Structure 1
């Protein structure tokens, strides 16, 4: 990481990273950069614009790849220091100037890295995809007639949803019924944990509203019905790949959802 003149006017005469940040050798690259950015924010360097330089510019300033910068920004966003707005920039939140927002090197994997993993919507979808597909495959071999009736009832309730605020709870209920039909509490527990993480993400709340809308609603219902058909036949591979296809459709919707203003709450 070399000091250089940046497009935001950062002087080559000043080190990009403070000596304190550089001495924290136990920090990963993105944590070091996140700590540096917080120091620069608090120094007032970006106060005039209220925004950070672009990912591309930050990667050039710090001499690292954009993936490292992106992880640093996600970490800062999780901590409430910045907010990324697609097509607009990386905005500095008022609380970023408070000393209570820190990148603590003692956090380790259980802190900063886990927080990033919890709230990165693409990571959430990838993890949930693998989990739900395996659950569907197991359910195909283990469900009872009562389980099948409960899954079909849950899907019908989702189809009959009349308000967007009802969509996510009913969608969650449908997936819960599939998990419960494995007759393995650990799968149910892991599924519930994944749903709790989804509910923490503004991007995922945007996704829920988008899925209720005209563009994706019928597609989601068709995906779910196809999965139930495979489950009813006891076809584990078919259920797996049907669920996989459903999550690929969610990834397409998520790309659109991330371009929408964040839903507060």
Structure 2
């Protein structure tokens, strides 16, 4: 544990000096170095999430994102309800370290705020033609999920959300939503972990999208906001459940 503690102290110094563009990647890199040094061996269980958060003086969300980075690099395996276990000793993938996008949980947190209000505004401004198009996207998702074509269903999921943003008639909001979805796909960490979520839950949550659509069709702004925020919160919870001790 001494080497891990030394790494934590070094990380704290680096952070105070303004180094490291993404804190969670710094923590992931330090843990990878500790594995490479042999302090943690193949099959060993990493310290609990809360202990790592206390050790590195960061939030548990930051630790969760660091563990996601380690898993998509193939260094650890996250076993829900059991813990995080070392798979092999190796350096963190250079492409992961170079990923300058916000962490996947940060992206979801931003989506919760932005897309909730976008849905509320869209409920007041969406046209009948856009509602028909939204319903068509929903029907496509239903058919593709039933056919177990989850990747294709996810594509219509993105179209569903971005059409809602377009229906706000607010170009700034639309750009923000598009940017968040672009981050989700362009970040290797977010994209690979989203694929893991997809395998676990077998595609988009149809019931959640139906609730959003129904609120929009009723022009229920408060309901649309709540339905969208509940949907994104559920996806975020799915992320956390895959990492939790």
Give TM-score scaled by structure 1 length.
0.64
3-state secondary structure, aligned to 2:39: coil
Give the superposition deviation at 1:150: 1.4
How far apart, in 2, do the equivalents of 1:72 and 1:65 lie?
A: 11
Q: Are the structure 2 counterparts of residues 123 and 228 from structure 1 closer, same or farther at C-alpha, using a change threshold of 3 Å? A: same
2:73·2:92 contact (CA, 8 Å) conserved in 1? no
How far off its partner does 1:167 sit?
A: 1.6
Contact 2:8-2:55 within 8 A present in 1 as well:
no
The equivalent residue for 1:119 is: 103
In the superposition, relative to structure 1, how do residues 69 and 52 fare at CA in structure 2: closer, same or farther (>3 Å)? farther
Query: How many Å apart are 1:96 and its aligned residue?
Result: 0.9
| Distance change >3 Å, CA 83–CA 197, structure 1 → 2 | farther
Q: In the aligned structure 1, how far is the partner of 2:60 from the partner of 2:169?
A: 40
| 1:90–1:176 distance in 2 versus 1, CA, 3 Å | same
Q: Report if aligned partners of 1:137, 1:240 keep a CA contact under 8 Å in 2.
A: yes
Task: Give distance in 2, aligned partners of 1:119 and 1:128.
Answer: 12
Give the aligned partner of residue 138 of structure 1. 121
CA distance in 2 between partners of 1:41 and 1:187 (Å): 43
Alpha-carbon distance change, 50 to 129 in structure 1, aligned in 2, over 3 angstroms: same
Is the Cα–Cα contact under 8 Å of residues 79 and 101 in structure 1 kept in the other structure?
Answer: no
Structure 1 residue 135: Cα displacement: 0.9
Instruction: Please list every run of 5 or more consecutive structure 2 residues that lacks an aligned counterpart in the other structure.
Output: none
Query: Take 1:253 and 1:75, find their aligned partners in 2: how far apart are those partners?
Result: 13
3-state SS of paired residue (1:89): strand
Match of residue 26 from structure 1: 17
| Matching of residues 89-100 of structure 1 within 5 Å | 89-91=84-86, 95-96=90-91
Alignment-derived partner of residue 243 in structure 1: 228
Q: 1:179 to 1:28 in 2, by over 3 A?
A: same
| Change in 2 beyond 3 A, CA 1:92/1:148 | same
Q: What is residue 203 of structure 1 aligned with on the other side?
A: 193
C-alpha distance in structure 1 between counterparts of 2:154 and 2:53, whole Å:
41
Kindly report the root-mean-square deviation, in angstroms, between the aligned alpha carbons of the 2 structures: 4.3
Deviations 1:35-73 (A, max 9, x none): 75565455x333754757414696499585774982794
Structure 1 residue runs of 5 or longer lacking an equivalent are 1-5, 104-110, 260-265
Shift of 1:171: 1.0
For the pair shown, the structure with the greater C-alpha radius of gyration is 1
Distance 1:254 1:18 in 2: 25
What is the match of residue 155 of structure 2? 169
Structure 1 equivalent of residue 202 of structure 2: 212
**Mean CA deviation greater in 133-142 or 189-198:** 189-198
| TM-score scaled by length of structure 2 | 0.69
SS of aligned partner of 1:16: helix
Residues 131 and 95 (structure 1), Cα distance of their counterparts in 2 relative to 1, 3 Å cut: same
More helix by share: 2
Quote how far apart the aligned CAs of 1:204 are: 1.8
1:45 matched residue in structure 2: 38
How far apart, in 2, do the equivalents of 1:97 and 1:204 lie? 19
User: 2 CA distance for matches of 1:252 and 1:51?
Assistant: 26
* C-alpha contact (below 8 Å) 2:64/2:243 kept by paired residues: no
